[in-house]
Amino acid sequence: MKPQLKIRCIQVQKIRYIWDFSVKEFKKVGSLEDSNTCQSIHHKFGAGLTREEQKIRQLVCGPNAIKVEIRPIWKLLFKEILNPFYVFQAFTLTLWLSQGYIEYSMAIIILSIISVGLTVYDLRQQSTKLHDLVEEHNKVQVTVCTKSEGCKELESCYLVPGDMFLLDGKKLSLPCDAILIDGTCIVNEGMLTGESVPVTKTPLPLVESLMPWKTHSMEDYRRHVLFCGTEVIQTKATGKGPARAIVLQTGFNTAKGDLVRSILYPKPVNFKLYRDAFKFIVGLSVIGVFGLIYTVCVFVSHGKPVADVVTMALLLLTAAVPPAIPAALTTGTVYAQRRLKKKKIFCISPQRINICGQINLVCFDKTGTLTEDGLDLWGIIPSEGSRFQKIHKFPSSTPLPWGPVCGAMASCHSLVVLDKKIQGDPLDLKMFEGTHWEIEDCSTAQDGAGALNICVVRPGMKASSAPVEGIAILHQFPFSSGLQRMSVVSQKIGEEQYDLYMKGAPEIVSSFCRQDTVPVNFLKELKTYTSQGFRVIALAHKVLNLGKDVDVNSLEREEAESELVFLGLLVMENRLKQETKPVLRELAAARIRSVMVTGDNLQTAVTVARNAGMIHTGSKVILIEAKEPEGSAPASIAWRLAEDCKANTAAPRVCANTEEKITLEGETYNYHFAMNGKSYQVIIKYFYNLLPKILVNATVFARMSPGQKSSLVEEFQKLDYYVGMCGDGANDCGALKMAHAGISLSEQEASVASPFTSQIPNIQCVPELIREGRAALVASFAVVKYLTLYGLIQFVGTALLFWQLQIFGNHQYLIQDVIITLLVCLTMSLTEAYPKLAPYRPPGQLISPPLLLSIILNVCFTIAMQTCGFLLVKQQPWYVALASQRHCSPGNQTVPPTSPGENATSSGPQSTVLSYEDTTLWPLSSINCIIVAFVFSKGKPFRKPIYTNYVFSVLLALQLAICLFLFFADIDAVYSGMQFLCTPVIWRVYVLLMLLVTFCVSLFTEDVILQNKHLWLLIKALFGYQSNSQYRKWQRMLQSDPSWPPLNAKDIGAKSTDEIYINPTYENSDEE
């Protein structure tokens, strides 16, 4: 070893990369090389590493810890305050405070502090929660063995890839990913899969094969791997000593590290609303700049001092931009979050609530989300002499009679007894319970060949009488998704002969049986049950002719599993949750697409989709089967109609009816595509150009891995869908993070990974969330519209007064700003969501024609009204330019225009506030604000009517009353405080009439014209406007394409992997 060892490394999103000089590139470190074969893993690392190797590896790979630092509050604060919103706000407030306008400035400052505080608190909470979640696994004590020094206890942060450690029977939370090389383990993988079912792990076989170990074990390499963060419940040693494992990956490279990274570095979600609000503020600032130029011109032409010109110009600039926008947007989402909390839906990123209002496609996981968690045993169809016998239904009054079927059900499983409770796969559990047998605690019997793990099952009290005392399960060939079967070697107690029982997928099991024992109508019978949505499992048996002292553990699986006798079919049912159907119906009525993404098999998934109403009764299902290129054959894709066929072939072929031609009506396509994860992978790799066409009408995706689920969500997003994902458990974590709104139905860790968590474990939360999202979105728009108009109403009023070098008084501003606007902003969003989902979505952008028109028209009305008032008052017979008559009392005492302390902005002998114009414009602009608040808080179709928001309605009435009182009360104190002049009562009535006209016109344009869905559809049709969303384009294209959907067709893909070959028949339709 060199005396000093230096390496160059970089860290990207917590993963370390080392510069490799030989190939001149960065290499990822922190895991064992994938190229190791089974044999090399056993030989190279089986005895442990030397101290030197450990030291070098520690230096290169770094500590084995998943460290998440809690972000310091000052950092979070700093990031939040540098938001351009707040920067502008600081500028505005400084100016106002310098002008002595203290009350409103303080109110805005307090509001902003609360808004920033809430955001920072939220982020800090998330950070702490994540830190606590991973911290406990960083300090686990493990026994590590080295080559020369034997075994000693170490803290888990010193582990390196290649280390060998012992699993000595204690319960242990695994601190790293490891390969089991000796002994067996039972672990709880709830943290990764969301299902807290104990999983049995088997040691990596010691075989002389040149293939890398992962390839050798194919899809099942996972059953030799112990994953980080999972819990070892029980270990079983072999004759050679305690169970041993080799560290495979450390730190953030592990399964848990991956999960934590997906939470730390989510795909950034672009909040359109905030972007648009920012554009809005820029637009308003531009208007403000025009005001600034106008003010400078007016004041300079009157020869005012520079200081006055500057302050007045800046005042008008800031009048146009309301500083309360960010705070108001925050309050809206905070209220929505509170309403969701009442409905037991918790949210960790409140900004996403608005996005939920845009969702138009929801992906559902099947098991535990649409259907109940477990399976129920429905019945058994025994087979004898190659004929199916009478079905035995469950639950039944008579117990299952003793026979090979009962033997298979009692012994062919991987159940274990932990803490006096039987645990294991729910399917195994239900099957075993159906026999009424019992498991004894597994003992370790000592015999010549070392310790054998023997599990004994005996008939229970309720079981049918059996001629056997019990069955000893001697050896297991574990279940794996790749092989789709499991088998056990057992022996009846007190007898010599050995039995092998197998259970698994019916097509697979029947292929291992002697064909003369398989009933002729096997496929037809199987089809009958799978097409009704039952889960069917086949059982088979064989007597093993083994010698007396044979070691069962050394049996070859291939040899043992052959020439079996078919025993029958086990039928289980997976019931839909009762809420599933009505919720899916509600979503369909609201024109929100539902898609099923599941790990279950395709046939079952399609049936569940039909039963749940995702696929309507009259609709056709087209199965897509894509194959990887094999040898000289290129990749291919086959389309078949799923039909019930009387096919008597050996393998169940779904054949297609050729005469079917599918007609499309409007948007309701009556065909749906269904495929499995393998086909999806092939399509992405070789037929990517077909993917959008398929996704526009695909409804069922079966056998999807977690990675494929995320990829699918992303592909849907590329088509401009707003995707919601509803799943349970952490195997959906990636997809939950990737979707615009991920909802996890679990109390488990997925709640950290998904923005929303529902404590009520059914899909009712989906429409709830969409309803609240829509209400929140509409409320946000309403608040932004209101604030914009309030800014512009003030701007117009102030600009008119500036024409004659006047300005509203401080108290006049205060009433508009605090009593009206602040309270409106805080209570406007309290209106609840409308209970029925409308069949269309609220507009997604602030900058959309109806919204902009609404603002522009209302601004025009306010300009017209205020200008009218301003000009008309000058025409009145009692009008004087320099008025000082304040009282409406008969005694005509005159009052000096203004006493020195009365108004900070007075200059010279003439008051800058007192004038008939000011007295006329103030009620016009103040009550206009109230009118606009009323008109913009539209109820249906997304929110309940305005009168259900009691606080808001009462406030509006009070505000109106206050304004009218101040305007109509002939009280001196009021006049001097508000700086009004006395006007004749008839003039005040005229002002009210102007306001009434404005109200009617505004309400009419908003409700009858701008919010009229049919009118907009008509306008769109007239101008030939079509939606720009990708999926809409594809839908329009496919509607006019007679060759789509292809049936009974087969497409050939390209030979090479890199380029995507486009089938000539599709080329023309692809060009838009």
- Cα torsion 488, 492, 498, 503: sign: negative
| DSSP secondary structure string for all residues of 313-358 | HHHHHHHHS-TTHHHHHHHHHHHHHHHHHHTTEEES-TTHHHHHTT
| Other beta carbons less than 10 A from residue 492's beta carbon | 18
Query: Catalytic residue at 1051?
Result: no
List Cα–Cα distances, 980 to 554, 874, 916, 968, in angstroms.
103, 16, 8, 11
User: What is the per-residue burial (b if ≥16 Cβ within 10 Å, else e) of 181-213?
Assistant: bbbbbbbbbbbbbbbebbbbbbbbeeeeeeebb
SS (H, E, C) 237-283: CECCECEEEEEEECHHHCHHHHHHHHHHCCCCCCCHHHHHHHHHHHH
List Cα–Cα distances, 260 to 247, 730, 751, in angstroms.
20, 11, 12
Gap between the Cα atoms of 81 and 35, Å rounded: 50
Task: List helix spans (H) across 374-521.
Answer: 404-411, 426-433, 506-512
What DSSP designation does 593 have? E
The residue behind tokens 């109940």 is: 372
Do residues 686 and 1053 lie in contact, with contact meaning Cβ atoms separated by under 8 Å?
yes
| Other beta carbons less than 10 A from residue 77's beta carbon | 16
Gap between the Cα atoms of 260 and 253, Å rounded: 10
Sheet strand arrangement including 620-627: 345-347, 756-758, 741-744, 723-727, 361-364, 593-597, 698-702, 671-676, 620-627, 636-641, 1050-1052
List Cα–Cα distances, 6 to 24, 28, 840, in angstroms.
16, 17, 62
Q: Which residues pair with 172 in a beta bridge?
A: 232
Gap between the Cα atoms of 927 and 868, Å rounded: 16
Closest CA to 737 of 722, 758, 748, 752: 752
Dihedral of the alpha carbons of 924, 930, 935, 940, in degrees to the nearest 10: -170
Gap between the Cα atoms of 996 and 838, Å rounded: 32
The residue behind tokens 């499991």 is: 486
Report helix, strand or coil for 505: coil
Closest CA to 485 of 557, 554, 549: 557
Gap between the Cα atoms of 593 and 725, Å rounded: 12
What DSSP designation does 818 have? I
The continuous run of DSSP H or E covering 862 comes out as: helix 849-875
Q: Which of 365, 425, 428, 1051 is catalytic?
A: 365
Do residues 68 and 264 lie in contact, with contact meaning Cβ atoms separated by under 8 Å?
yes
Do residues 631 and 625 lie in contact, with contact meaning Cβ atoms separated by under 8 Å?
no
Gap between the Cα atoms of 735 and 266, Å rounded: 11
The tally of CA atoms less than 13 A away on the side-chain side of residue 903 is 25
Closest CA to 793 of 927, 659, 640, 955: 927
Q: Is 704 exposed, middle or buried (0-12, 13-18, 19+ CB in 10 A)?
A: buried
Gap between the Cα atoms of 830 and 331, Å rounded: 9
Q: Is 685 exposed, middle or buried (0-12, 13-18, 19+ CB in 10 A)?
A: middle
Catalytic residue ranges: 365
